[in-house]
Structure 1
Amino acid sequence: MTSAPAGPDPTMEAIGHALAEGQAGDTASARRELLDLWSAIGVTGDPLHRCSLAHYLADLHDDPAQALAWDIRALDAADAVTEQRVQEHHAGLHIAGFYPSLHLNLADDYRRLGSFEAATEHIDAAREHAPGLPRDPYGDLLRGAIQEVAEAIDKRDRSRRASAPGSAGSSAADSATAPGPDC
Protein backbone atom coordinates (compact mmCIF):
# COMPACT_ATOMS: atom_id res chain seq x y z
CA MET A 1 0.00 0.00 0.00
CA THR A 2 1.34 3.43 -0.86
CA SER A 3 -0.88 5.56 1.34
CA ALA A 4 0.50 6.73 4.64
CA PRO A 5 -1.19 6.03 7.96
CA ALA A 6 -3.78 8.64 8.91
CA GLY A 7 -2.05 9.36 12.22
CA PRO A 8 0.09 7.84 14.95
CA ASP A 9 -1.42 4.96 16.87
CA PRO A 10 0.72 3.98 19.87
CA THR A 11 -0.98 0.59 20.22
CA MET A 12 -0.35 -0.33 16.59
CA GLU A 13 3.23 0.91 16.96
CA ALA A 14 3.69 -1.34 20.01
CA ILE A 15 2.22 -4.29 18.11
CA GLY A 16 4.60 -3.57 15.24
CA HIS A 17 7.55 -3.42 17.64
CA ALA A 18 6.64 -6.79 19.13
CA LEU A 19 6.18 -8.24 15.64
CA ALA A 20 9.68 -7.06 14.68
CA GLU A 21 11.11 -8.71 17.80
CA GLY A 22 9.38 -11.97 16.92
CA GLN A 23 10.66 -11.84 13.35
CA ALA A 24 14.16 -11.21 14.69
CA GLY A 25 13.89 -14.47 16.63
CA ASP A 26 12.92 -13.26 20.10
CA THR A 27 9.51 -14.92 20.10
CA ALA A 28 9.29 -15.24 23.89
CA SER A 29 9.72 -11.50 24.38
CA ALA A 30 7.35 -10.74 21.51
CA ARG A 31 4.68 -13.03 23.00
CA ARG A 32 5.06 -11.38 26.43
CA GLU A 33 4.73 -7.90 24.92
CA LEU A 34 1.66 -8.86 22.92
CA LEU A 35 0.03 -10.60 25.87
CA ASP A 36 0.63 -7.49 28.00
CA LEU A 37 -0.95 -5.37 25.26
CA TRP A 38 -3.88 -7.81 25.04
CA SER A 39 -4.48 -7.36 28.76
CA ALA A 40 -4.41 -3.59 28.36
CA ILE A 41 -6.71 -3.58 25.32
CA GLY A 42 -9.19 -6.04 26.80
CA VAL A 43 -11.68 -8.24 24.98
CA THR A 44 -13.95 -5.26 24.33
CA GLY A 45 -11.19 -2.90 23.18
CA ASP A 46 -10.63 -1.47 19.71
CA PRO A 47 -11.37 -4.32 17.26
CA LEU A 48 -8.57 -3.20 14.92
CA HIS A 49 -6.07 -3.51 17.75
CA ARG A 50 -7.48 -6.88 18.81
CA CYS A 51 -7.45 -8.19 15.23
CA SER A 52 -3.85 -7.14 14.62
CA LEU A 53 -2.55 -8.34 17.95
CA ALA A 54 -4.30 -11.71 17.90
CA HIS A 55 -3.28 -12.35 14.32
CA TYR A 56 0.39 -11.72 15.02
CA LEU A 57 0.32 -13.54 18.34
CA ALA A 58 -1.01 -16.64 16.60
CA ASP A 59 2.07 -16.63 14.38
CA LEU A 60 4.30 -16.74 17.45
CA HIS A 61 2.94 -20.13 18.56
CA ASP A 62 4.32 -23.38 17.20
CA ASP A 63 1.43 -25.32 18.76
CA PRO A 64 -1.45 -25.23 16.23
CA ALA A 65 -4.06 -25.36 19.00
CA GLN A 66 -2.65 -22.20 20.59
CA ALA A 67 -2.37 -20.54 17.18
CA LEU A 68 -5.97 -21.52 16.44
CA ALA A 69 -7.26 -19.83 19.59
CA TRP A 70 -5.58 -16.55 18.62
CA ASP A 71 -6.59 -16.81 14.96
CA ILE A 72 -10.23 -17.25 16.00
CA ARG A 73 -9.92 -14.12 18.15
CA ALA A 74 -8.46 -12.26 15.16
CA LEU A 75 -11.35 -13.25 12.88
CA ASP A 76 -13.92 -12.37 15.53
CA ALA A 77 -12.31 -8.96 15.98
CA ALA A 78 -12.17 -8.39 12.19
CA ASP A 79 -15.92 -8.94 12.05
CA ALA A 80 -16.28 -5.99 14.44
CA VAL A 81 -13.89 -3.63 12.59
CA THR A 82 -15.57 -1.02 10.45
CA GLU A 83 -14.25 0.23 7.14
CA GLN A 84 -14.15 3.72 8.68
CA ARG A 85 -11.88 2.50 11.48
CA VAL A 86 -9.52 0.84 9.01
CA GLN A 87 -9.41 4.02 6.92
CA GLU A 88 -8.71 6.12 10.02
CA HIS A 89 -5.70 3.93 10.66
CA HIS A 90 -4.44 3.70 7.08
CA ALA A 91 -6.12 5.20 4.03
CA GLY A 92 -4.83 2.42 1.77
CA LEU A 93 -6.35 -0.46 3.72
CA HIS A 94 -9.77 -2.07 3.50
CA ILE A 95 -11.29 -4.53 5.95
CA ALA A 96 -12.11 -6.88 3.06
CA GLY A 97 -8.37 -7.32 2.52
CA PHE A 98 -7.93 -8.89 5.94
CA TYR A 99 -10.16 -11.91 5.30
CA PRO A 100 -8.07 -13.97 2.85
CA SER A 101 -5.21 -14.04 5.34
CA LEU A 102 -7.39 -14.62 8.39
CA HIS A 103 -9.17 -17.58 6.79
CA LEU A 104 -5.87 -18.91 5.41
CA ASN A 105 -4.37 -19.03 8.88
CA LEU A 106 -7.44 -20.75 10.31
CA ALA A 107 -7.35 -23.31 7.48
CA ASP A 108 -3.70 -23.99 8.21
CA ASP A 109 -4.33 -24.34 11.97
CA TYR A 110 -7.20 -26.78 11.46
CA ARG A 111 -5.16 -28.72 8.88
CA ARG A 112 -2.25 -29.10 11.29
CA LEU A 113 -4.69 -30.35 13.92
CA GLY A 114 -6.12 -32.91 11.49
CA SER A 115 -9.54 -31.26 11.26
CA PHE A 116 -9.65 -31.36 7.48
CA GLU A 117 -13.35 -30.53 7.11
CA ALA A 118 -12.92 -27.29 9.07
CA ALA A 119 -9.68 -26.61 7.18
CA THR A 120 -11.52 -26.99 3.87
CA GLU A 121 -14.24 -24.56 4.97
CA HIS A 122 -11.67 -21.89 5.78
CA ILE A 123 -9.50 -22.43 2.71
CA ASP A 124 -12.66 -22.08 0.62
CA ALA A 125 -13.44 -18.83 2.45
CA ALA A 126 -9.88 -17.61 1.83
CA ARG A 127 -10.31 -18.36 -1.88
CA GLU A 128 -13.66 -16.53 -1.95
CA HIS A 129 -12.02 -13.42 -0.50
CA ALA A 130 -8.81 -13.68 -2.56
CA PRO A 131 -10.02 -11.85 -5.71
CA GLY A 132 -9.84 -8.61 -3.73
CA LEU A 133 -6.15 -9.07 -2.98
CA PRO A 134 -3.82 -6.52 -4.51
CA ARG A 135 -1.76 -7.42 -7.57
CA ASP A 136 1.54 -6.96 -5.77
CA PRO A 137 4.08 -9.16 -3.94
CA TYR A 138 1.89 -9.35 -0.83
CA GLY A 139 -1.15 -10.49 -2.82
CA ASP A 140 0.97 -12.94 -4.80
CA LEU A 141 2.43 -14.37 -1.60
CA LEU A 142 -1.03 -14.85 -0.10
CA ARG A 143 -2.41 -16.45 -3.26
CA GLY A 144 0.56 -18.85 -3.26
CA ALA A 145 0.05 -19.69 0.42
CA ILE A 146 -3.66 -20.36 -0.19
CA GLN A 147 -2.73 -22.80 -2.94
CA GLU A 148 -0.06 -24.42 -0.77
CA VAL A 149 -2.43 -24.95 2.16
CA ALA A 150 -5.18 -26.23 -0.16
CA GLU A 151 -2.78 -28.83 -1.56
CA ALA A 152 -1.69 -29.84 1.95
CA ILE A 153 -5.36 -30.25 2.94
CA ASP A 154 -5.98 -32.45 -0.10
CA LYS A 155 -2.97 -34.60 0.85
CA ARG A 156 -4.09 -34.73 4.51
CA ASP A 157 -0.63 -33.40 5.39
CA ARG A 158 -0.47 -32.17 8.99
CA SER A 159 3.16 -30.99 8.96
CA ARG A 160 4.13 -27.38 9.49
CA ARG A 161 4.76 -25.57 6.21
CA ALA A 162 8.30 -24.30 5.71
CA SER A 163 6.85 -21.03 4.42
CA ALA A 164 4.48 -20.48 7.37
CA PRO A 165 5.02 -17.34 9.45
CA GLY A 166 7.39 -18.07 12.30
CA SER A 167 8.97 -21.09 10.56
CA ALA A 168 12.71 -21.26 10.24
CA GLY A 169 12.38 -21.21 6.44
CA SER A 170 10.13 -18.15 6.31
CA SER A 171 11.23 -14.57 5.89
CA ALA A 172 9.85 -11.41 7.41
CA ALA A 173 7.81 -11.01 4.24
CA ASP A 174 6.08 -14.27 5.05
CA SER A 175 4.04 -12.37 7.57
CA ALA A 176 1.85 -12.11 4.52
CA THR A 177 -0.32 -14.74 6.05
CA ALA A 178 -1.13 -11.92 8.41
CA PRO A 179 -3.28 -9.01 7.29
CA GLY A 180 -0.09 -6.97 7.13
CA PRO A 181 1.65 -4.69 9.57
CA ASP A 182 -1.29 -2.37 9.22
CA CYS A 183 -3.93 -4.99 9.99
Structure 2
Amino acid sequence: MNPDNPVVQLCAQGMSAEAEGRGADARALFLRAWEAATDDYEACVAAHYLARHQPTPEETLRWNRKCLARADRVGDERVRGFYPSLHGSIGRALLDLGDVTEARTHFEAAAGRLADLPPGPYADWLRLCVARGLRATVPQAENPVRDLLTRLCERADLDALALLLPAAMGGLGTAEDEERLTTVLRMLHAERRLPAPEQAALSELITLRSPSCEASAHGVGSK
Protein backbone atom coordinates (compact mmCIF):
# COMPACT_ATOMS: atom_id res chain seq x y z
CA MET A 1 0.00 0.00 0.00
CA ASN A 2 1.20 3.50 -0.86
CA PRO A 3 2.09 5.20 2.44
CA ASP A 4 1.44 8.60 0.86
CA ASN A 5 -2.16 7.73 0.05
CA PRO A 6 -4.49 9.81 2.32
CA VAL A 7 -6.78 6.82 2.97
CA VAL A 8 -3.83 4.62 3.88
CA GLN A 9 -2.51 7.35 6.17
CA LEU A 10 -5.86 7.58 7.98
CA CYS A 11 -5.94 3.80 8.38
CA ALA A 12 -2.37 3.84 9.73
CA GLN A 13 -3.42 6.46 12.28
CA GLY A 14 -6.41 4.31 13.15
CA MET A 15 -4.18 1.28 13.69
CA SER A 16 -1.98 3.32 16.02
CA ALA A 17 -5.04 4.43 17.99
CA GLU A 18 -6.22 0.82 18.11
CA ALA A 19 -2.84 -0.34 19.45
CA GLU A 20 -3.04 2.35 22.15
CA GLY A 21 -6.47 1.14 23.25
CA ARG A 22 -8.33 4.14 21.83
CA GLY A 23 -11.06 2.18 20.11
CA ALA A 24 -13.44 5.09 19.55
CA ASP A 25 -10.69 7.19 17.98
CA ALA A 26 -9.66 4.27 15.77
CA ARG A 27 -13.20 3.75 14.53
CA ALA A 28 -13.57 7.49 13.79
CA LEU A 29 -10.34 7.46 11.77
CA PHE A 30 -11.38 4.39 9.80
CA LEU A 31 -14.76 6.00 9.09
CA ARG A 32 -12.97 9.10 7.83
CA ALA A 33 -10.91 6.84 5.58
CA TRP A 34 -14.08 5.28 4.18
CA GLU A 35 -15.59 8.68 3.50
CA ALA A 36 -12.35 9.87 1.87
CA ALA A 37 -12.07 6.87 -0.45
CA THR A 38 -12.08 7.81 -4.12
CA ASP A 39 -11.98 4.34 -5.71
CA ASP A 40 -12.77 0.70 -4.98
CA TYR A 41 -9.28 -0.08 -3.73
CA GLU A 42 -9.29 2.68 -1.13
CA ALA A 43 -12.84 1.76 -0.09
CA CYS A 44 -11.77 -1.88 0.27
CA VAL A 45 -8.91 -0.94 2.60
CA ALA A 46 -11.10 1.32 4.74
CA ALA A 47 -13.96 -1.20 4.94
CA HIS A 48 -11.55 -3.89 6.12
CA TYR A 49 -10.57 -1.84 9.16
CA LEU A 50 -14.08 -0.56 9.83
CA ALA A 51 -15.35 -4.14 9.99
CA ARG A 52 -13.10 -4.73 12.99
CA HIS A 53 -14.78 -1.96 14.98
CA GLN A 54 -18.45 -2.86 14.71
CA PRO A 55 -20.63 -3.52 17.76
CA THR A 56 -22.54 -6.54 16.42
CA PRO A 57 -21.83 -9.60 14.25
CA GLU A 58 -24.44 -8.31 11.79
CA GLU A 59 -22.58 -5.04 11.27
CA THR A 60 -19.24 -6.84 11.17
CA LEU A 61 -20.59 -9.10 8.45
CA ARG A 62 -22.07 -6.17 6.52
CA TRP A 63 -18.78 -4.29 6.41
CA ASN A 64 -16.80 -7.38 5.51
CA ARG A 65 -19.20 -8.05 2.65
CA LYS A 66 -18.68 -4.45 1.51
CA CYS A 67 -14.94 -5.07 1.60
CA LEU A 68 -15.29 -8.29 -0.41
CA ALA A 69 -17.43 -6.58 -3.04
CA ARG A 70 -14.89 -3.79 -3.44
CA ALA A 71 -11.99 -6.24 -3.62
CA ASP A 72 -13.79 -8.16 -6.36
CA ARG A 73 -14.23 -4.93 -8.28
CA VAL A 74 -10.53 -4.15 -8.02
CA GLY A 75 -9.62 -7.66 -9.13
CA ASP A 76 -5.85 -7.22 -9.45
CA GLU A 77 -2.66 -7.99 -7.55
CA ARG A 78 -3.26 -5.18 -5.06
CA VAL A 79 -6.04 -7.16 -3.35
CA ARG A 80 -4.80 -10.70 -3.92
CA GLY A 81 -3.45 -11.03 -0.40
CA PHE A 82 -6.63 -9.63 1.16
CA TYR A 83 -8.82 -12.64 0.41
CA PRO A 84 -7.63 -15.14 3.05
CA SER A 85 -8.26 -12.67 5.89
CA LEU A 86 -11.43 -11.35 4.31
CA HIS A 87 -13.07 -14.73 3.84
CA GLY A 88 -11.91 -15.76 7.32
CA SER A 89 -13.49 -12.65 8.86
CA ILE A 90 -16.76 -13.28 7.06
CA GLY A 91 -16.68 -16.89 8.23
CA ARG A 92 -16.21 -15.85 11.86
CA ALA A 93 -19.09 -13.37 11.67
CA LEU A 94 -21.34 -16.03 10.14
CA LEU A 95 -20.40 -18.47 12.90
CA ASP A 96 -21.36 -15.84 15.47
CA LEU A 97 -24.71 -15.56 13.71
CA GLY A 98 -25.22 -19.33 13.68
CA ASP A 99 -24.88 -19.83 9.92
CA VAL A 100 -22.46 -22.75 10.01
CA THR A 101 -22.97 -23.85 6.40
CA GLU A 102 -22.10 -20.53 4.81
CA ALA A 103 -19.35 -19.98 7.37
CA ARG A 104 -17.64 -23.17 6.23
CA THR A 105 -17.88 -22.02 2.61
CA HIS A 106 -15.93 -18.89 3.49
CA PHE A 107 -13.37 -20.71 5.65
CA GLU A 108 -12.77 -23.08 2.74
CA ALA A 109 -12.37 -20.09 0.43
CA ALA A 110 -9.87 -18.59 2.89
CA ALA A 111 -7.95 -21.88 3.02
CA GLY A 112 -7.78 -21.93 -0.75
CA ARG A 113 -6.17 -18.47 -0.82
CA LEU A 114 -3.57 -18.88 1.93
CA ALA A 115 -0.92 -19.60 -0.69
CA ASP A 116 -1.31 -16.01 -1.88
CA LEU A 117 0.32 -14.77 1.32
CA PRO A 118 4.09 -14.47 1.66
CA PRO A 119 5.57 -16.89 4.22
CA GLY A 120 5.93 -15.45 7.69
CA PRO A 121 4.25 -14.95 11.06
CA TYR A 122 1.13 -13.32 9.58
CA ALA A 123 0.54 -16.23 7.21
CA ASP A 124 1.15 -18.73 10.02
CA TRP A 125 -1.29 -16.92 12.31
CA LEU A 126 -3.97 -16.69 9.64
CA ARG A 127 -3.60 -20.38 8.82
CA LEU A 128 -4.28 -21.23 12.46
CA CYS A 129 -7.35 -18.96 12.44
CA VAL A 130 -8.72 -20.59 9.29
CA ALA A 131 -8.05 -24.09 10.64
CA ARG A 132 -9.87 -23.18 13.84
CA GLY A 133 -12.81 -21.91 11.81
CA LEU A 134 -12.98 -25.12 9.80
CA ARG A 135 -12.95 -27.20 12.97
CA ALA A 136 -15.81 -25.11 14.36
CA THR A 137 -18.02 -25.98 11.39
CA VAL A 138 -18.05 -29.76 11.87
CA PRO A 139 -19.15 -31.95 14.79
CA GLN A 140 -16.30 -32.68 17.18
CA ALA A 141 -15.35 -36.34 17.37
CA GLU A 142 -12.92 -38.17 19.60
CA ASN A 143 -9.47 -36.89 18.80
CA PRO A 144 -6.49 -38.87 20.11
CA VAL A 145 -4.05 -36.22 18.86
CA ARG A 146 -5.75 -33.63 21.06
CA ASP A 147 -5.59 -36.09 23.97
CA LEU A 148 -1.84 -36.35 23.47
CA LEU A 149 -1.52 -32.58 23.24
CA THR A 150 -3.38 -32.25 26.53
CA ARG A 151 -0.89 -34.57 28.22
CA LEU A 152 2.03 -32.59 26.80
CA CYS A 153 0.47 -29.33 27.98
CA GLU A 154 -0.02 -30.70 31.47
CA ARG A 155 3.69 -31.54 31.62
CA ALA A 156 4.66 -28.29 29.88
CA ASP A 157 6.75 -30.26 27.39
CA LEU A 158 7.54 -27.23 25.24
CA ASP A 159 9.89 -29.05 22.87
CA ALA A 160 7.26 -31.62 21.93
CA LEU A 161 4.53 -29.00 21.73
CA ALA A 162 6.64 -26.77 19.47
CA LEU A 163 6.97 -29.68 17.04
CA LEU A 164 3.42 -31.02 17.18
CA LEU A 165 1.17 -27.97 17.59
CA PRO A 166 1.71 -26.32 14.19
CA ALA A 167 0.89 -29.52 12.33
CA ALA A 168 -2.00 -30.51 14.59
CA MET A 169 -3.71 -27.16 14.92
CA GLY A 170 -2.83 -25.62 11.56
CA GLY A 171 -3.98 -28.48 9.37
CA LEU A 172 -6.66 -27.63 6.82
CA GLY A 173 -7.74 -31.20 6.11
CA THR A 174 -5.70 -31.71 2.94
CA ALA A 175 -3.76 -34.88 2.17
CA GLU A 176 -0.55 -32.87 2.44
CA ASP A 177 -1.51 -31.61 5.91
CA GLU A 178 -2.39 -35.10 7.07
CA GLU A 179 0.93 -36.47 5.86
CA ARG A 180 2.73 -33.62 7.58
CA LEU A 181 1.04 -34.47 10.88
CA THR A 182 1.88 -38.16 10.54
CA THR A 183 5.51 -37.30 9.79
CA VAL A 184 5.69 -35.10 12.89
CA LEU A 185 4.24 -37.88 15.02
CA ARG A 186 6.88 -40.27 13.70
CA MET A 187 9.66 -37.77 14.39
CA LEU A 188 8.46 -37.30 17.95
CA HIS A 189 8.19 -41.07 18.41
CA ALA A 190 11.71 -41.60 17.08
CA GLU A 191 13.16 -39.40 19.83
CA ARG A 192 11.98 -41.96 22.40
CA ARG A 193 12.13 -39.45 25.22
CA LEU A 194 8.46 -39.21 26.24
CA PRO A 195 7.05 -41.06 29.27
CA ALA A 196 5.98 -44.61 28.46
CA PRO A 197 2.20 -43.90 28.28
CA GLU A 198 2.74 -41.06 25.82
CA GLN A 199 5.21 -43.07 23.78
CA ALA A 200 2.60 -45.84 23.56
CA ALA A 201 -0.07 -43.33 22.54
CA LEU A 202 2.23 -42.12 19.77
CA SER A 203 2.68 -45.68 18.51
CA GLU A 204 -1.09 -46.18 18.40
CA LEU A 205 -1.61 -42.88 16.59
CA ILE A 206 0.98 -43.70 13.96
CA THR A 207 -0.51 -47.15 13.43
CA LEU A 208 -3.99 -45.67 13.00
CA ARG A 209 -2.82 -43.05 10.53
CA SER A 210 -0.26 -45.04 8.59
CA PRO A 211 -2.38 -47.06 6.13
CA SER A 212 -2.70 -44.03 3.86
CA CYS A 213 -3.74 -41.10 6.03
CA GLU A 214 -7.16 -41.89 4.58
CA ALA A 215 -10.12 -39.59 4.72
CA SER A 216 -7.82 -36.58 4.89
CA ALA A 217 -10.70 -34.14 4.92
CA HIS A 218 -11.77 -35.60 8.25
CA GLY A 219 -8.40 -35.28 9.94
CA VAL A 220 -7.32 -33.12 12.83
CA GLY A 221 -7.03 -30.01 10.73
CA SER A 222 -10.66 -30.14 9.58
CA LYS A 223 -12.32 -30.89 12.89
Q: TM-score, normalised by structure 2?
A: 0.58
**Which structure 1 residue ranges, 5 or more long, are not aligned?**
87-94, 157-183
Q: Distance in 1 between matches of 2:28 and 2:60?
A: 15
Deviations 1:52-91 (CA, angstroms, capped at 9, x unpaired): 111111111242111111100111111122436x3xxxxx
What SS does the aligned partner of 2:54 have? coil
**Corresponding position of 2:25:** 29
**Corresponding position of 1:15:** 11
Kindly report structure 1 stretches of 4+ aligned residues shifted beyond 3 Å.
none
Q: Which among 32, 52, 58 is matched to residue 59 of structure 1?
A: 52
**Corresponding position of 2:137:** 153
Deviations 1:157-181 (CA, angstroms, capped at 9, x unpaired): xxxxxxxxxxxxxxxxxxxxxxxxx
What SS does the aligned partner of 1:48 have? helix
Pair member with larger Rg: 2
Deviations 1:15-56 (CA, angstroms, capped at 9, x unpaired): 111122123211111112222332232xxx312211111111
Q: How many residues align?
A: 140
Instruction: Say if 1:155 and 1:112 are closer, same or farther in 2 by CA, change over 3 A.
Output: farther
Q: Distance in 1 between matches of 2:44 and 2:119?
A: 24
Q: Distance in 1 between matches of 2:9 and 2:101?
A: 37
Q: Distance in 1 between matches of 2:138 and 2:21?
A: 32
Q: Distance in 1 between matches of 2:112 and 2:129?
A: 14
**Corresponding position of 2:110:** 126
Q: What root-mean-square deviation, in Å, do the aligned CA atoms of Structure 1 and Structure 2 show?
A: 1.9
**Corresponding position of 1:170:** none
Deviation at 1:101, TM superposition (A): 0.8
Deviation at 1:104, TM superposition (A): 0.4
Is residue 76 of structure 2 the alignment partner of residue 83 of structure 1?
yes
What SS does the aligned partner of 2:21 have? coil
Is the CA contact 1:22–1:60 (under 8 Å) kept in the aligned structure 2?
Answer: no
Is the CA contact 1:51–1:73 (under 8 Å) kept in the aligned structure 2?
Answer: yes
Deviation at 1:155, TM superposition (A): 5.0
Deviation at 1:152, TM superposition (A): 2.1
Q: Distance in 2 between matches of 1:25 and 1:71?
A: 22
Q: Larger RCO: Structure 1 or Structure 2 (Cα < 8 Å, ≥ 6 residues apart)?
A: 1
Q: Distance in 1 between matches of 2:2 and 2:16?
A: 21
Instruction: Say if 1:67 and 1:102 are closer, same or farther in 2 by CA, change over 3 A.
Output: same
Q: Distance in 2 between matches of 1:105 and 1:57?
A: 12
What SS does the aligned partner of 2:118 have? coil
Kindly, what percent of the aligned residue pairs are identical? 31
